[in-house]
Amino acid sequence: MTTALAAAKEQAWVLSRKDLYGLGITRWEITGQVRAGRWQLLGDQSVCLHNGEVSDDSHRWAAVIQGGPRACLDGASALIASGLERFTVDRHRVSVPRGARVRRTRLYDIRQTRRLREEDRSPSGIARTRPPVAAIRGALWATTDKQASYLLTLTVQQGLATPEQLGVELLRIKRHRRLRLLHAVVNDLIGGARSLGELELATELRRRGLPVPERQVLRRDGSGRYFLDLYWPDHRLVVEIDGIHHTWAQNVVADALRQNTLMLQGDTVLRLPLLGLRLEPDRFFGQIAAALARPVAA
């Protein structure tokens, strides 16, 4: 029993029935421990060797065990296992190769996939896909476009994958209803998106019958010079296009100071995250239209 506890400690206190049998624990001993309330079952393949609250880490191990010897965490579950923060899942997703046996359980989402390759797996730790692979698949499987975009952005912000790595994995996907959106989001993350966003915005303004602004207007303040992304001088309206870099800590203070300066000078400042162009365009353009329709204070 001591050997089993030592082995379980390395896997968040979860072992498979097969592992326990290999350590000399019989089926009847497992049943006795569970009935006595000292252990608990997670699905029909995993045993948690304590009677307390089951941690998320324990559930990840149980999900992989339930999936079988060729299973691995995938999508957002794999990212969380790799360290992703500020994102949760209702059920851990596990992928198994096409043709593998799938042991269904209400606890975990276990599915076959033709996309699973050996090189997709992380080399160490719990069986899971590498972060770039997991991020793209998680975005494909997300319940909404907003959740898909948020997952990719978090992955880059928290340093689990680079935008370029996401781009490489995205090129492997040939057909999906969300493919166009993901290409747009990854392009935004890669860079050069600021100018791309300005061009898209100018085109969309013309289509909606709104006046086209001046771009990259030079301003100066006490700390130096800076450029306004979009500016309507007759309306004293500024629109700042925010890519992912605007959410990084080193840019937050500078952005706030610049916006405060503009407001003190009498300009109205609207912020348009690039993801807003992808997910909520009508609402953001509605705000721009409302600002352009307001009378300008003398």
Q: What is the CATH number of the domain that holds 251?
A: 3.40.960.10
Q: Looking at the structure, tell me whether residues 79 and 177 fall in a common domain.
A: yes
**Domain edge (last residue) among 166, 190, 214:** 190
Report the pLDDT value the prediction gives residue 249, as an integer from 0 to 100: 44
For residue 121, give its domain range.
55-190
Distance CA 106, CA 112 (A): 16
Report the pLDDT value the prediction gives residue 250, as an integer from 0 to 100: 45
Q: Looking at the structure, tell me whether residues 183 and 205 fall in a common domain.
A: no
Q: Looking at the structure, tell me whether residues 107 and 219 fall in a common domain.
A: no
**Domain edge (last residue) among 190, 224, 249:** 190
Q: Looking at the structure, tell me whether residues 96 and 183 fall in a common domain.
A: yes
Q: Is residue 286 part of a domain?
A: yes
Say if residue 281's pLDDT is above 80: yes
**Domain edge (last residue) among 190, 216, 233:** 190
> pTM of the entire structure?
0.72
CA atoms within 13 A on the CB side of 210: 19
Q: Looking at the structure, tell me whether residues 231 and 177 fall in a common domain.
A: no
How many domains does the structure of the chain reveal? 2
Q: Is residue 44 part of a domain?
A: no
Distance CA 41, CA 47 (A): 5
Q: Looking at the structure, tell me whether residues 175 and 258 fall in a common domain.
A: no
Is residue 101 within 8 Å of residue 114, measured between CB atoms? no
**Per the structure block, which two tokens stand in for 31?**
């049943």
Determine the longest span between alpha carbons in the chain, in angstroms.
86
Q: What is the pLDDT of residues 132-166, one digit of tens each?
A: 999 999 999 999 998 998 899 889 889 999 988 99
**Per the structure block, which two tokens stand in for 286?**
């509605």
Q: What is the pLDDT of residues 236-248, one digit of tens each?
A: 998 888 765 444 4
Report the pLDDT value the prediction gives residue 240, as an integer from 0 to 100: 83
